[in-house]
Amino acid sequence: IDRSIADSRAKTNARAREAFMASLDACFSREGSPVHPMRFVRELERALPENALIVADPGISAVYASAFLKLKGPGRKWIVNFSVGALGYGLPAGLGASYAHDGPVVVLTGDGSFGFTAGELETLKRSGRDVKVVLFNNECFGWIRATSRFSSGWSRFATDFSETDYPAVARGFGLESERAADSADLARVLEGMFRGKGPFFLEMPVLPEDEQVPPVPEWADEANRLGMDCPY
């Protein structure tokens, strides 16, 4: 292999990546309510301890962090079953991982996934494991809604949820809980989440994927045609 060719391609790719990331600065710094998931990724990156492990459910809870979160060191610090797509994986997987990991475990989940295994909050309370649950609440099965809009052109049905007070649900299980309703809340809430050792529950209202398009290549063309904000 000609080393000069490899070095040239590496530099070209690095410049392209820097330009792409710069084009996303507006999303990473987005202010207001509801929270933009890319702003959450940036704030989580700043607050995340070096020894943290992240476990993510499929959907909105995985796709932004998969694309944009920079981990702070080598090793296996990211566990996700995204391609399998089994909802409800994150919380029980995070609980299990906490017994093998020396450090906090952050579970990224969505309201759709959480509905499958919400009862594991009792296990979390009883065990006292250092697991931090972050719930992206878009009040629907957002991935199905977006697929219906961008891939098939169908109108959505049977995807929307009734309003639920998830922090109150977590408190009912005896967990400390917070809601980050605005980007201005994130730094304070995340700092508090990692300050203590033990369970913590954070709800973050977000827009559904058919209204705020995540970094999904197969949806990008249609989203751009519709004039929608899309990272890709």
Q: How far apart are CA 13 and CA 200, in angstroms?
A: 39
Contact 35, 204 (CB under 8 A): yes
The neighbouring-strand residues paired with 118 are none
Q: What is the pLDDT of residue 96?
A: 98
Phi, psi for residue 202 in degrees, rounded to 5: -125, 125
Q: What is the pLDDT of residue 1?
A: 58
Query: What is the model's pTM?
Result: 0.90
Query: What tens digit of pLDDT does each residue of 21-78 get?
Result: 888 887 888 899 999 999 999 999 999 999 999 999 999 999 999 999 999 888 889 9
Query: What tens digit of pLDDT does each residue of 188-226 get?
Result: 999 999 999 999 999 999 999 999 999 999 898 888 899
Q: How far apart are CA 202 and CA 80, in angstroms?
A: 19
